[in-house]
């Protein structure tokens, strides 16, 4: 399960979550905080690992159970995994409704409260506050569960993304993954034929923060670096099809441009597959900006 470091700040409408990207933790700070947390979790058979400062994971150690009763001294997750929400759905003022919930919710909220007390007393946070930096005063728990035998179906040859989640799904589905380049200028001509998914997610943060100016600035940046060059490549015949998927409330409204038509606009409940055709001659592009508002 992910347990990313965050800072919860009180506002008039409720708590606002400051994500790990804005906290800019140093590797040494990350290591010290994980050591403090793991010292408190060892008796429960749990452990936190942080491959990078922005992404932490909570694991069940050894053969500790993940369901059953907490009675007695046996370590493990007594009520099982909780229901959780990814940070991308947590708008300002909506933190409380996205805390661990379901049958296992009370146990995990109790555990989270204990961890918040440890973070409150941490020397790392005392140093950060003294330097005028935000503390890590909580962890955001999400994405719990075990990896099963079923693998996702990924209808792309390559997924270009910066997010670890998208890269992981690509690998599970047998697709290649790569970090996106700075922009689309001259990039299409260097690619092999096939279907390519480009995930652009920089609009998430300003959208959830309701920062209109930052959202407009990033959209303008996308326009200059990606949309204009890719449209030019399409008009030059280097791309067989362009599809822009903008998701709201879990639904996607794709704008599709193919060589055989000007444009078609439609809606689907997921990938927009009803608007896609296969072309073996030229690269195909899906530029995906997944946005899900909180209700």
pLDDT by position in tens, the chain (length 295): 999 999 999 887 788 898 898 899 999 999 999 999 999 998 888 999 999 999 999 988 755 555 543 333 334 566 688 999 988 888 778 899 999 999 999 999 999 999 999 999 999 999 999 999 999 999 999 988 777 778 888 889 999 998 888 898 899 899 999 998 889 887 887 888 888 989 888 887 787 777 889 989 999 999 999 989 988 888 888 888 888 877 655 555 666 666 544 333 333 333 433 333 333 345 665 654 433 444 4
Task: For residues 233 and 252, give the distance between their C-alpha atoms in angstroms, rounded to a whole number.
Answer: 24
- Where do the DSSP E strands lie in the chain? 2-11, 14-18, 46-52, 55-60, 138-142, 158-160, 176-178, 195-199, 241-248, 251-258, 264-265, 284-290
User: Model confidence over 38-83: pLDDT tens digits?
Assistant: 999 988 889 999 999 999 999 887 555 555 433 333 345 666 889 9
Is 39 exposed, middle or buried, given 0-12, 13-18 or 19+ CB atoms closer than 10 A? Answer: exposed
- Closest listed residue to residue 105, CA positions, set 125, 89, 81: 81
pTM of the model: 0.74
Distance from CA of residue 287 to its chain's centroid?
Answer: 17
CA atoms of 14 and 237, how far apart (whole Å)? 51
Dist CA 50 CA 34 (whole Å): 8
pLDDT of amino acid 277: 33
10 CB neighbour count, 10 Å cutoff: 8
14 Cβ neighbours under 8 A, 6+ residues apart: 92, 93, 94, 95, 96
Q: What's the rounded Cα separation, in Å, for the pair 64 and 77?
A: 8
Q: Which residue in 132, 133, 66, 138 sits closest to 99, CA to CA?
A: 138
Closest CA to 278 of 199, 193, 200: 193
Please give the pLDDT value at position 289.
40
């Amino acid at each position: 399960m992910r347990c990313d470091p965050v800072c919860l700040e009180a506002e008039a409408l409720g708590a606002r979550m400051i994500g790990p990207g804005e906290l800019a933790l140093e590797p040494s700070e990350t290591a010290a905080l994980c050591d403090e947390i793991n010292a408190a979790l060892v008796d429960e058979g749990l452990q936190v690992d942080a491959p990078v400062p922005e992404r932490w994971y909570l694991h069940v150690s050894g053969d500790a159970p993940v369901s059953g009763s907490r009675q007695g001294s046996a370590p493990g997750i007594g009520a099982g995994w909780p229901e959780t929400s990814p940070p991308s759905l947590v708008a300002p003022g909506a933190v409380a409704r996205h805390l661990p919930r379901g049958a296992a919710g009370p146990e995990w909220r109790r555990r989270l409260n204990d961890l918040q007390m440890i973070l409150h007393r941490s020397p790392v946070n005392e140093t950060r506050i003294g330097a005028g930096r935000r503390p890590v005063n909580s962890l955001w728990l999400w994405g719990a569960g075990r990896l099963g035998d079923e693998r996702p179906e990924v209808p792309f040859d390559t997924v270009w993304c910066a997010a670890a989640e998208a890269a992981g799904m690509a690998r599970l589905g047998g697709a290649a993954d790569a970090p996106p380049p700075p922009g689309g200028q001259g990039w299409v001509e260097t690619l092999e034929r096939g279907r390519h998914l480009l995930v652009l997610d920089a609009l998430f943060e300003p959208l959830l923060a309701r920062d209109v100016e930052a959202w407009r600035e990033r959209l303008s940046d996308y326009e200059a670096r990606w949309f204009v060059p890719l449209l030019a490549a399409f008009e030059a015949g280097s791309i067989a099809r362009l599809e822009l998927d903008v998701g709201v409330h879990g639904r996607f409204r794709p704008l599709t441009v193919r060589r055989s038509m000007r444009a078609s606009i439609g809606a689907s409940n997921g990938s927009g597959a009803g608007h896609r055709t296969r072309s073996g001659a030229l690269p195909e592009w899906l530029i995906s900006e997944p946005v899900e508002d909180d209700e």
